[in-house]
Amino acid sequence: MSPPRRYRHGGHWLALRGGRINLGLVLAAMRHIPAEVENLKAGRWQRTLGTGLKGRTLGIFGYGKIGSLVARYGQAFEMNVLVWGGKVPANEQRRQD
């Protein structure tokens, strides 16, 4: 009989995965990846290029582990990042009027 499995809280790793999944969904939506996959399966060539992320606005609800990672990823793509949540550190706050 094998010993029982022990489960630990994923903490950082779960947040990292969640942040990457969120940004992957944004990229898929902006580049029309699901529609282009279907076109390729049907034997048709790529029809659209989608749009870039630079200068676009990324809205994030909550600034916990996942939200802060998504914000950093958005900044890496030179996006305007807007966060709604009460835990944004003072050194990262900028008010846009």
Cα(60)–Cα(22) distance, rounded to whole angstroms? 10
pLDDT digits over 38-68, tens only? Answer: 999 999 988 788 888 899 999 998 888 888 8
pTM: 0.68
The predicted pLDDT at position 97 comes to 42
- Overall average pLDDT of the 8-13 stretch: 62
User: What is the identity of the amino acid at 72?
Assistant: R
Cα(52)–Cα(50) distance, rounded to whole angstroms? 7
Ramachandran class of 11: left when φ > 0, alpha when ψ lies in -120 to 50, beta otherwise:
left
pLDDT digits over 63-93, tens only? Answer: 888 888 899 999 999 999 998 876 776 666 6
Cα(16)–Cα(58) distance, rounded to whole angstroms? 18
Nearest by Cα to 55 from 87, 79, 81, 20:
79
